[in-house]
A and B are shown apart, each in its own frame.
Chain A
């Protein structure tokens, strides 16, 4: 890997308003850094998981945290792993990070095994753990200097300070930093080696909204510069705003994967209204729930249902109070999966790329409103 500056554009600190999402950067054509076998085979994704499994413990106390995950992350893209606590997100990420070897299946990072080929993989990956870990008694600058000593080709410390807007806090001890500042310091270390693969475990948990936006911008910059980013998050709006691809995990498996639109596709839209004083007519809708106060219509064709409803109300002179219509959202799908109401997934998780087959209409929840 040549130490020449390979990413001039990232050297500009988190600048807002960067253009959208260009395709994978040509600068990162696989293997360009070394021109040797360390590069990924042409066209191979930067991260590739095949039937990945991880079991903790042995015998009767064994626990399967990861139960056959397939996932690909291309260079120049962001993939978000979503799921409730215990879904297996961190366990999966640790396998990609090379902190543990899988019980079964295969992990490839830049075409290499992160455990066996550790020495060749680590200089090209940047990791952010769920909890930051730095000695409380070192200053920010001392911490970055320490970390720089462990990185093959580190950015200058001053540049890292500037990029994560920590320059003013450089001589403050880590123990005196706010949570957001500690997270930025952590991120500065993650990015110090100009990683091609970036693995972020809940990068914005506990951050204030402004810091969160800063982190989002950094992630977008990384993507625009051709890095492959795999992150976990609890925040659906974060996943929607940031990720090109989503993978929703539940109980150790990827239950749904694709773009946010692909994931919502096939899930019913909903129309809610205060239950009117007379019976609704037959509408082009699926299931109708009425709890006495609110009526909820589930429909795969929101426009048709809404048109029919409004036409009926108009003709009957019925006032529809608190009318609310919404397209199937990531949230409703996520909740359905988290609550186990999702359609039974095939034994193996769906292939996330290039485009997963849209969920069939029968994937609609069969009980209860998505709330």
Chain B
């Protein structure tokens, strides 16, 4: 999401005729989302904390790759998983949560809803900058990891799926959390359950099996599994690659389903609980 693109001032005569016919055309919707997302991206860079969360935190874990022996699979998997978690938690989940709550407080959302913009367009435009960061960081992760000796992903589609599904799920959970978050400060507390849901799966590797059976259903565990399976061919708990491409599809099915489930639940909760105006 570049904020330095040359200005293109919309002028009345240049507005496409289809847009003018009630602003209902698909082109008009795309134009609205693009204009709003651009403003949201600008805002992301204006606030030091959101900028830190968006750009620095997600790539920080890549430094881990320099610690272990080159090409070590365990270190590689831990690094990629941590980078993905940070990406989903900060630029996508937390930034979106705090931005939505802040805009709601500032009555920006209410103002936007008096115009031609539709609710869904407001939500998509708010989420877009974080999603673009997530995809970008994931691509950077691939490049850096390969350059530092990590093996090439066994099943890139599974890794990409983990990134995209995880991002969509984080967006849904952010909107759901926003529904019961009073203001931007309260977000520091209300975000904890979701942060826990993501982190617990990653640290659960050391838990006994009886506990892991449950933590496997957390989105964090599903994301961890997908990175280990899809990129490194690591089966459950093992430290040496054992899965080939065909295996990854069958073993990866369960964590994919877990993510789809969380995404669906998150979207449904968000849809039902969304509030556009601050509580009085």
Contact = CB atoms under 8 A, between A and B. Distances in A.
A150 B112 contact: yes
Contacts of A135: 39, 43, 103, 106, 108
B107 A99 contact: no
A131 B20 CA distance: 28
Interface in A143-185: 143, 145-158
Contacts of A143: 39
Interface string A112-148: 0000000110110001010111111110001101111
B70 interface: no
B103 A150 contact: no
B116 to A, nearest CB: 4
Contacts of A4: 13
Q: Is the contact region of chain B dominated by helix, strand, or loop, or is it mixed?
A: helix
A205 to B, nearest CB: 15
A38 B108 contact: no
B34 interface: yes
A151 B115 contact: yes
Given A122-B115, A134-B111, A152 B39 contact: no
Contacts of A3: 12-13, 15, 17, 20
Contacts of A122: 23, 115-116
A27 to B, nearest CB: 16
Nearest to B111: A133
Contacts of B32: 149-150
Interface in A1-53: 1-5, 34, 38
A187 B47 CA distance: 26
B279 interface: no
B15 A154 contact: yes
Contacts of A70: none
Interface in B168-207: none
A145 B111 CA distance: 15
A150 B117 contact: yes
A123 B11 contact: no
B113 interface: yes
Given A1-B20, A122-B23, A152-B23, A147 B115 contact: yes
B144 to A, nearest CB: 31
A146 B36 contact: yes
A136 B15 contact: no
A327 B115 CA distance: 43
Contacts of A137: 43, 46-47
A97 interface: yes
Nearest to A192: B115
A132 B108 CA distance: 8
B211 interface: no
A154 B12 contact: yes
Interface residues of B, number: 39
Given A120-B22, A135-B43, A135-B106, A148 B35 contact: yes
A148 B47 CA distance: 23
Interface residues of A, number: 42
Nearest to B122: A150
A129 B107 contact: yes
B14 to A, nearest CB: 8
Interface in B8-57: 9-13, 15, 17, 19-24, 28, 31-32, 34-36, 38-39, 42-43, 46-47
Contacts of B134: none
B272 interface: no
A183 B31 CA distance: 26
Contacts of B38: 146, 149
Interface in B91-112: 103, 106-112
B213 interface: no
B108 A133 contact: yes
B35 A123 contact: no
Contact of A142 (B23, B42, B110): B42
B20 A152 contact: yes
Nearest to B13: A3
B30 to A, nearest CB: 10
Nearest to A155: B12
B114 interface: yes
A134 B108 contact: yes
Contact of B9 (A119, A123, A153, A158): A158
23 contacts: A2-B20, A122-B23, A122-B116, A123-B22, A129-B110, A131-B107, A133-B109, A133-B111, A134-B111, A136-B106, A137-B43, A145-B7, A148-B35, A149-B10, A149-B31, A149-B34, A150-B112, A150-B116, A150-B117, A151-B115, A152-B28, A154-B12, A155-B12
Which 5 A/B pairs are nearest by Cβ-Cβ distance? A149-B35, A133-B107, A133-B111, A146-B39, A127-B114
Interface of A: 1-5, 34, 38, 97, 99, 119-120, 122-123, 127, 129, 131-138, 142-143, 145-158, 186, 189, 193
Given A129-B114, A152-B19, 11 more contacts: A3-B17, A119-B24, A131-B107, A145-B35, A148-B9, A152-B23, A154-B10, A154-B11, A154-B12, A156-B9, A156-B10
